[in-house]
Amino acid sequence: MTLDVDLEAEQYEKHREAGRILARVRDEAAERVEVGASHLELAEWAENRIRELGGEPAFPVNISVDEEAAHATPGIDDGTTFGEEMINLDIGVHVDGWLADTAVTVDLSGHDDLAAASAEALDAALELVEPGVETGKIGAEIESVIDGYGYNPVVNLTGHGLGHWQQHTPPNIPNRAVAQSAELSAGDVVAIEPFATDGAGKVSEGSDEEIFALETEGSVRDRSARQALEEITERFRTLPFATRWLESRRPEMALRRLKQQDIVHGYPVLKEQDGRLVSQKEHTVIITEDGCEVTTRR
C-alpha cells in the first residue's frame, strides 16, 4: 500500500519535535504541582522550559482548577497558589508553526477515579484511530468509557485538528456519540482530549479572560494598541497568547481597545457548575497508514 502523504516530510518532523519537547515539559510541570506552589511561577517555568528545549509555546499554559475546564491562565502578577484541588494542565508547543497539544490532570483533591476516567477514555480512543475511522465512533468510545465510571463527558468541548500556526482546525473530535461525522485520513494531525466531570457535562463561559488571539487584520490609532498589535502579529500570528506575554506598554488597555474593534478576540474561562470537578487528558497524534503515532507520549 502506498500513501499519498509523506510522513517523513519536514512538517511531520517538526510536529514530532514539538511533541517530544512537550511530552517532557508536561511531565516536568506536573511534578511541580503541589499545594502552595504558584500558578504564575509554574506557567512561566513551563513556557521558558519549552523555549530552552528549542520550541515555542503554542498557547499560554492552561491551569484549570476544579470546575474550570479550559482557557484559564495566570494573569500579570497573579498570586494564586495550588490547594487540595483537581488541576488540569493543558500545554502546547510549536516548532516553526507545527504544533503539539497535550493535557494531564494532577489530582490533589482525592478523586483519582475521575482523573482515571478521562485518561482511560483517551487510551480507548487512541486504539480506534486509523485512516477511515469516523470521528463519531471515537466520541462514542470516549462517552462509553467515562459513562462506565459513572461520570459525564463534557460534550461541548472537543478534540480538533492542528494546522500550521493554527491551534483549532477541522475535524472536531467529539467527546460523545454523534451521528454526523468526518473520517480521519493518513497524514491528519489531530488532538484528542476527553474531559470527564461529575457535573452535567456542559461548560459555560465565566467572566475571567486572560487568553486572546488575533481575529482579523486591522488598524488602530491608539499608540499602545498599535504597538501591541504589531507585537501580536509578529510573535504569535493567529496563535493564542496571554496578556502577561505582551512586552508592549499598558497591555491590558491595549487589549481592551483591540477587542472593542474586533481585531482580537478573547477566550473566557470555561467552567462546569460550582462545586463540580473536571478532569482532562489529551494527546496529539499523526494518523499513519494503519493506525496512529502519538507525538506527545514519552
- State the nearest-atom distance from the C-beta of 70 to Co ion, in Å: 8
Query: 193 an active-site residue?
Result: yes
The DSSP-derived string for 217-277 is -----SHHHHHHHHHHHHHTTTS-EEGGG--SSSHHHHHHHHHHTTSEEEEEEEE-STT--
Closest CB to Co ion among 95 and 191?
191
- State the nearest-atom distance from the C-beta of 253 to Co ion, in Å: 30
Angle (nearest 5°) at CA 286 between 113 and 18: 85
Q: Which residue do the cell numbers 482579523 mark?
A: 216
Q: Which of 143, 160, 188, 209 is catalytic?
A: 160
- State the nearest-atom distance from the C-beta of 59 to Co ion, in Å: 9
Query: Environment class of residue 78 by beta-carbon count within 10 Å: exposed (0-12), middle (13-18) or buried (19+)?
Result: middle
Q: Which of 90, 120, 143, 272 is catalytic?
A: 90
Query: 78 an active-site residue?
Result: no
Cα–Cα distance, 194 to 178 (Å, whole number) = 15
Query: 168 an active-site residue?
Result: yes
Q: Which of 17, 67, 85, 101 is catalytic?
A: 101
3-state class of 290 per DSSP? coil
Query: 101 an active-site residue?
Result: yes
Closest CB to Co ion among 209 and 282?
282
Q: Which of 193, 198, 210, 272 is catalytic?
A: 193
3-state class of 132 per DSSP? coil
- Asked if residues 142 and 201 have their Cβ atoms less than 8 Å apart, the reply is no
Query: 210 an active-site residue?
Result: no
- State the nearest-atom distance from the C-beta of 99 to Co ion, in Å: 9
Closest CB to Co ion among 120 and 193?
193
Q: Which residues lie across from 134 on neighbouring strands?
A: 183
> Can you give the binding site for Co ion, defined by CB under 5 A?
101, 191
- State the nearest-atom distance from the C-beta of 230 to Co ion, in Å: 28
Cα–Cα distance, 180 to 182 (Å, whole number) = 7
The residues near 56 (Cβ < 8 Å, ≥ 6 apart) are 50, 93, 94, 95
Closest CB to Co ion among 142 and 229?
142
Closest CB to Co ion among 23 and 263?
23
Q: Which residues are catalytic?
A: 90, 101, 160, 168, 193, 282
